[in-house]
Every structure is written in structure tokens, then in C-alpha cells.
Structure 1
């Protein structure tokens, strides 16, 4: 066992653990998003010690960057006591990452190729709205990530929205096939940086949230948390899907709108028009609806192409770059 440290915070690192896992399990925050080495969010500088870069992709961490002492925290494993720099406000306390076993309480088909899975916990899981958990697929060793649709106080029954991936190890091979109520599921969490600022720093400004498919899941928890803090704030939530068969939870959003006049839910259909709903792309709908994004915060979750289109739409409406938050859903390779 070796020790890793940053900004005066020191934690133990088990054999085979990555820098990121060691810090998160020790309750020390480090930037993290995909946890697969592809996004570069967790890039940091090694000040002392030595690391094994493992499966760090060259297009995310180049050879010159490695030579300069940079590493991906989610891939690098320390070979000796190691100290790293703290990017931004990294190094502060956070909800510790932990392993847990959950019981399947409910499985419901809620839209085309989409299921809601409720997982019951014996002990509460501390997390922030917008974060995700990682499930272990039985019999394969594969791990898959699913965002939580919960608010932080809904900490004993976790709500996941899962879309079937044809040939997927986790979906076709498990969640849409043999998963049953009462099954035990091995998981770990919380993970991810897609979350609201601390309540003390939340000024109650207007928000726009755009989700593609099941990218809607974390936005549900974020929107409800934001409205609980400031009930009268303006919140626009767009859900982009192919057709009306892919929409879900319309009743839930109608209830939220009834309680909060500043909340509006806007379904947008891209490929199968329906007279009841808007057609096109949710990012374009935002541009049509909002003349200026100054003072707004923007939240994007879904396929990479939609997220990138959303960033462009927000910038087009003069939203401050530091107020643009994103979470990309990239399906795992089929088994």
C-alpha cells in the first residue's frame, strides 16, 4: 500500500487502485466525468513519486504530456508514495466513493426501449443530484454507469433510467433480459461532477436543462433541487427524443409545473413528428425561445453530438462559458 496526497490531504492507496479512486474513497474531491480516460477531465500533474499510466489513451494524454509529468487520475496507478497538484478547487472534501449492494425494488417499461429501475439500499448513499453510480454486470465483470434521477434527500431508493443498447452486455444481456425484482445488484458511487454549485453559492438565476433520451435522468434531480432552493426561479427543461413513443414522465413534469410557475417542460421530437409536440432539435428550440442567455446557467446531458450542439447554442445566446455544464452519454461497445 502507498500514500497519495494533494494540497495537504493524504489518503491510502490500495494495490491496483487508481489515483482517482483512492482520493474519492478517501473523501477527497478530484475532477472526474467519464472515468474511462477519454474526456481528460481528471488530468493532473505528478509532483513527486511515480505512476503507471495504464490504459491512458494517447489522444487524451500525449507522450509529451506524460514526459512533462501529467497523468489521468482515472487511469494512473501510483507505484510509490505520490503527490499530485490540485486542479481548481480539487482537494476539498466530498461524499466518499463506496461499494454497496442494492436490491431491485421495481422494473418498469416507461418508453420505447426505456426502463426505470429502482434500487433499494440498506444504508443511505450520500451524493449530490446529477451524479451517477456504477453497476457491476453479473457474470461478466463489466461495469456500466447510470445517472441518478434523485435529489440528495432521496438517498435510500435510487432511480435509474436505462435505454436498451442492441447487443449491450448490460442491457440486452441483463437489465432488459434477466434482471428481476428482488435481485441483488453490486454497485459503487457516487461519481461525476455534473452537479449544482453549493447552496450558499446558488443565486437562484434562470436555468436551462437539455437532455437527449435518458440523458433526462440527472436533469430531473438537478431541476427539482434547484426549485427546492428557489421555488420561483425560471427553469426550462427540454427533452429531445426521436418520437412521442420515447417520451416519459409527462405527468411528473406537469405536477412540477403546477407547483412552480417558472418551470416549463418542453418535449422536442427529431424524427417522428407529432402535432402535440415541437419538432426539430432541443438545442434549436432553446435558441428560438430565449433571446439572451446572459445570467443563465446551462446543463446538457445526452449523446456527444447533442451536447456539443447545446454548447454552441448557449454561446450563441451569450451564456457565460463558466455557466455551461455538460455530461456526455457514450454507449459502451456491445458484447
Structure 2
């Protein structure tokens, strides 16, 4: 019911768009331009200061009067006056033509539609590169997510069919549960006929084990893997390509700079402690001298004086 209503709604919108021709769009443009320049709610008639029932001669007279006021020669330095003067000429031409005036009167009485098709809005808003990229990212990610949902529902249904086929092969047509484990073969191509031993006839099949309500896939090495809804990959926004790409870049940067920051810490820890060790810290007999500890770490010997650490000076 909802789908039918939505279809009829879209169809009515399409019919409305198809009913508007080029002249209608010109009237829409003119109405919007006049309201912008002359004030909200200004109509063709109110701009000319004539009633909607005015005759053609009355409209022509009102046009001549207003055109003298808006003529560019009488308004030097006004950059917008030329546009208003040209717009006034178009309004006069529409109202003095019977067919175009009838068309305008329809929108004058019923109102100009707010939604006028993609072409009308595109002429006023040309999307930039950033807008297009964001739109494509959202669109492609949404399509990918709905494909995930479709695949999830399909795989879930297939798992349920396989489980039902395995139980049917193990328990029989009446689906009476049998205690213990029973190995069966399940057809991967769907329902079909079985032989006297319960094996599917003439199709590719897999070996499975039914143990109570649980169903397992039996591999050649004897391992069994459970078959249930948890094996189906559920749809997630994080698995769409853009989110996955951002997360991958974030973790890569985190690992890269995390290791770079950790290296100086290790070096400072080496510099902050004496390299001498005791006999309990090295294997072998006796105690290790500071020089021996330094040689083992491939570092120059150091001495302490005055509470400060400094490098030893080699005697000449």
C-alpha cells in the first residue's frame, strides 16, 4: 500500500514537471526576480499599479508611465536600473499577449510552485567540486550499505535453508529430532529428491553433522564448524569504503607517529641510568666493571663528579 502511494506521488510530480514548458520557467524566473528587486509579494499587476482585470490599453499606458521613471537615461549611476527596465519590458510583453497572460494568470491565482524540477534549481545553484565529491561519497556509501543489507538477508536465508536441509536429512521428512550425532550430505543447490539412504541425487553436496539442534560442516580433516546466523557478516556503516578508508589512514598514521614518539623515550631511558651492573645482573663469576658493562652496550665509559654526569677524558 505504501509503495503504491509513493509511486502515485512520484508519478504526479513527474506529470507536473512535464506540464511546465519553457514559457512557464521564464515566468517562474521573472516572478522570483521581481520579488527580489521590487519586494516580496510583488506581482506583475501590482508593479504596473493596475488591477488583474486591466485591459491591454491600460497595461500599455501603465507601462509607458513606469518605463519613463525607470529609464537608464534618467537614472545615471544606478547599476541595477537597466535590469529593472529590461524586466519591465518583458512583463509588459507577457501581459499584452493573450496566451502568455492566461498562463501567468493561472500562477497568479494558484501560486507559483515551490518545487520546479531539477533544471530550475540547477540554473540557480551549480554544485562545486566539493559538493559533488561529498554527494558521490554519501551516495556510493549508502548504496554499498544497502548492498550489505541485501547480502546479509540473502546469506541469512541461505543459512536457514542449509540448516533445514541438514535436519531434514538427519531426522527424516517428519523432522523428529534424533539423539546423538548423525553425518549427512546436504545439496548446495536447494531442495531435491533423496535416495533410500537419505543422500541427495545428482548434485554437488557437502558433508555435515547434526548433533541435537546444532548443525556443523564436516571438513576432510575431521574438523567441524558450526553453521548458524553468527557466521553471516552483518551490515555496518564502518564497512563502507569511505569510512573504512578513513579508519585505515587513521590507524596507519597512529602507528607511524606512535613508534616515532616512542623511540626518543627509550634513548632517554638509556641515558638516564648508569651502565654499570652487578654480578647478579650478568652470568659468569665475579663482578662486572663499569668498563665491561659499557663495552657490552657499545657505549663510551662515563664517570660521575659533583652529582653531574660527564664523559671521561682520555689521558694522552
- Structure with more strand by fraction: 1
**Is the radius of gyration larger for structure 1 or structure 2?**
2
Please report the TM-score for the alignment, with normalisation by the length of structure 1: 0.14
Which structure has the higher relative contact order (CA within 8 Å, separation 6+)?
A: 1
- Structure with more helix by fraction: 2
Please report the TM-score for the alignment, with normalisation by the length of structure 2: 0.15
